[in-house]
Amino acid sequence: MYKILKAEKLADRIFLMDVHAPRVASHCQPGQFVIVKIDEKGERIPLTICDYDREAGTITIVVQEVGASTTKMGELREGDSFRDFVGPLGCPSELVHEDPETLKNKKILFVAGGVGAAPVYPQAKWLHKRGVAADVIVGAKTKDMLILEDEMKAVSGNYYPCTDDGSYGHAGMVTSMIEELVNEGKKYDVCIAIGPMIMMKFVCLLTKKLEIPTVVSMNPIMVDGTGMCGACRLQVGDEIKFACVDGPEFDGHLVDFDQAMKRSQMYKTQEGRAMLKLQEGDTHHGGCGHCGGDE
């Protein structure tokens, strides 16, 4: 069992947890992820490693309630435990493999959407510790939905919050913030975008036009996390890749986002059934003919 040492609500339906997982903490790098399971029969949920403390043996994860399993996860408190906590999985960020002195001469831009701030943070922190100050754009629907602001400000060269409703920071999408910075004369050698697929798609369309090489961290449906099931299959240029073992980072200008988003809809019905069963509890019987019962 993997004990939760800290559980904190960051925003509506978004939670941060520090989990005691020494073996994962001793080997992980920025950009990697874990797959967690609440109990023996629980769904296996992939979550990005938001932070880690090798000495304390802890991994920090951020959970957003979007379905039955993550809603159950949001109810966990300090002292509770995960049944399984597997990792680190996936490949580390490309930044980890670059020479720190070379990185100091690069202009790096991170673009995060929603809980995409969680996987951006460890990369920006890793760079900060090596004397590299990257610019960070974080977008959310409203000010209340922005997470990890203080942490991000502490490790970024410049921090640019954006809100769709204009309640805080830049009023508008992250793409318009990118355009504004470029129009001001900012030049970037690489952009790293992490967030909803639709956001990453439009960031890549813009950065391709601006000729800024762009890396994206893909978050498709995963089942086993070892490349065996094929659920996280992606078309990247002329090649077929699997996000769990080949990624999660890929050249954003080569990813077929339309195909990836279409594939992500394949499990919507099953997730809806699971959520209905969770909401109805003991009263759930599956007799409506729509949810499929316990099948």
Q: Give the model confidence (pLDDT) of 83-115 as tens digits.
A: 999 989 999 998 998 888 889 899 999 999 999
Q: Give the model confidence (pLDDT) of 109-139 as tens digits.
A: 999 999 999 999 999 999 999 999 999 999 9
Measured distance CA(121)–CA(156) in Å, rounded:
9
pLDDT of residue 279: 59
pLDDT of residue 287: 46
Tokens of 234: 């992606």
44-58, 221-235, 241-255: which has the minimum mean pLDDT? Answer: 221-235
Within its chain, how far is the Cα of 9 from the centroid? 17
Q: Quick check: 2 pLDDT over 90?
A: yes
Identity at 182, one-letter amino acid code: V
State mean pLDDT over 241-252: 92
Q: Quick check: 14 pLDDT over 90?
A: yes
pLDDT of residue 284: 47
Strand 81-82 and strand 170-171: the pairing is: unpaired
State mean pLDDT over 180-186: 95
Measured distance CA(197)–CA(203) in Å, rounded:
10
Tokens of 173: 């999408």
Inter-CA distances, 275 with 75, 81, 241, 278, Å: 15, 22, 30, 5
Q: Give the model confidence (pLDDT) of 49-91 as tens digits.
A: 999 999 999 999 999 988 888 888 889 999 999 999 998 999 9
3-state secondary structure (DSSP) of residue 268: helix
Just give the CATH number of 2-89: 2.40.30.10
Mean of all residue pLDDT scores within the chain:
88
Give the pTM.
0.85
High-pLDDT (> 70) share of the chain, % = 90
pLDDT of residue 277: 62
Helix axes 174-183, 197-209, angle to 10 degrees: 20
H-state helical runs in 92-231: 100-103, 117-129, 149-155, 174-183, 197-209
Domain ranges of the chain: 2-89, 94-214
Q: CB of 136 within 8 A of CB of 195?
A: no
Q: Which residues of 242-277 are buried (b: 16+ CB within 10 A; e: fewer)?
A: bbbebbbbbebbbbebeebeebeeeeeeeeebbbbb
- The CATH architecture annotation of domain 94-214 reads 3-Layer(aba) Sandwich (3.40)
Instruction: Give me Rg for the CA atoms of the chain.
Output: 19
Q: Give the model confidence (pLDDT) of 191-225 as tens digits.
A: 999 999 999 999 999 999 999 999 999 987 777 77
Q: Give the model confidence (pLDDT) of 18-42 as tens digits.
A: 999 999 999 999 999 999 998 887 7
High-pLDDT (> 90) share of the chain, % = 68
31 class by beta-carbon count within 10 Å (0-12 exposed, 13-18 middle, 19+ buried): buried
